């Protein structure tokens, strides 16, 4: 169904398709508090991984001694984790 412009938007997942905003109601489908806790744990894991990778890449000894492919792979991992963190 379509919502009227002045109608309240329910708790829902949102997707955009051109100028159309698609809402999928989530009431009764997920436990909001459990999902927020899961996301907080995941963010903590990502932050830890970013810190670990930055520490490794900030170490001149690692960058100087490790093969270039390994350093590049660690940089790619860091970029992916930073993107997930955003």
pLDDT truncated to tens, each residue of the chain (86 aa)?
Answer: 777 788 887 778 889 899 888 888 888 888 889 989 999 999 999 999 999 999 999 999 999 999 999 999 999 999 999 999 98
Give, rounded to a whole angstrom, the gap between the first and last alpha carbons of the chain. Answer: 33
Domain assignment present for residue 46? The answer is: yes
17 falls within a domain = no
Give every CB contact of residue 71 below 8 A, 6+ residues apart in sequence. 57, 62, 63
Residue 40 falls inside a structural domain:
yes
Indicate whether 62 belongs to any domain: yes
pLDDT at 28: 81
What is the reported pLDDT for 9? 76
**Between helices 68-85 and 32-57, what is the axis angle to 10°?**
150
Residue 20 lies in a domain: no
> Would 4 be classed as within a structural domain?
no
Strand partners for 21: 16
47 within a domain of the structure (yes/no): yes
The pLDDT of residue 2: 75
1 vs 24: CA distance, rounded Å = 11
Domain that holds residue 55: 30-85
Q: How many domains does the chain have?
A: 1
């Amino acid at each position: 169904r379509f919502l009227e412009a002045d109608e309240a938007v329910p708790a829902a997942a949102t997707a955009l398709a051109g100028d159309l905003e698609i809402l999928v109601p989530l009431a009764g489908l997920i436990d909001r508090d459990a999902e927020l806790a899961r996301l907080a744990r995941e963010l903590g894991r990502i932050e830890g991984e970013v810190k670990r990778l930055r520490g490794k890449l900030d170490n001149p000894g690692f960058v100087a001694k490790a093969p270039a492919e390994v350093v590049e792979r660690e940089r790619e991992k860091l970029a992916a984790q930073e993107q997930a963190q955003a």
